[in-house]
Amino acid sequence: MPIGADGFRLPTVNEPGSKNKLEMIRGAGQDEYCRTFVINEEDHTLGNALKHVLMQHPAVEVCGYTVPHPMERSIHVRVQTKGVPAIQVLHQSLTTLKNQNQMVKQMIQDEVTKYKEDNSSQ
């Protein structure tokens, strides 16, 4: 188990390198409406934003995320819903987040071009 350049542990044999990006934890308490998702190779950058978006979803009862160990690069995202299956909510929220990001990106780009245009004249 070599240590990556960023100080995190790299994937090992038990956890093959070609791990899925998204996994579901199995165990007592898990059902369609209560899911813990493991998102590999992610950290607070995605986790916090995703949690925020999930919170806005009307079907969500409880949601949150945690980093199980700061030296392992994965996050656990919990979605507990009412009526709509959790996986669906996660999917929708991820899409929303993506759209929001694209929008922000677009806004920034617009601002940049506008600024450049404004300043290039001088």
Least distance from C-beta 25 to other proteins, angstroms? 5
Q: Of 27 and 121, which CB lies nearer to other proteins in the complex structure?
A: 27
Among 19, 20, 21, 30, binds other proteins (CB under 8 A): 30
The verdict on 81 binding other proteins (CB under 8 A) reads no
* Rounded-to-integer distance, Cα 36 and Cα 66, Å: 10
The verdict on 34 binding other proteins (CB under 8 A) reads yes
Counting every residue written for the chain, the total comes to 122
**Which residues lie near other proteins (CB under 8 A)?**
1, 3, 7-9, 12-14, 25-30, 34, 36, 51-52, 55, 61-66, 68-71, 76, 78, 80
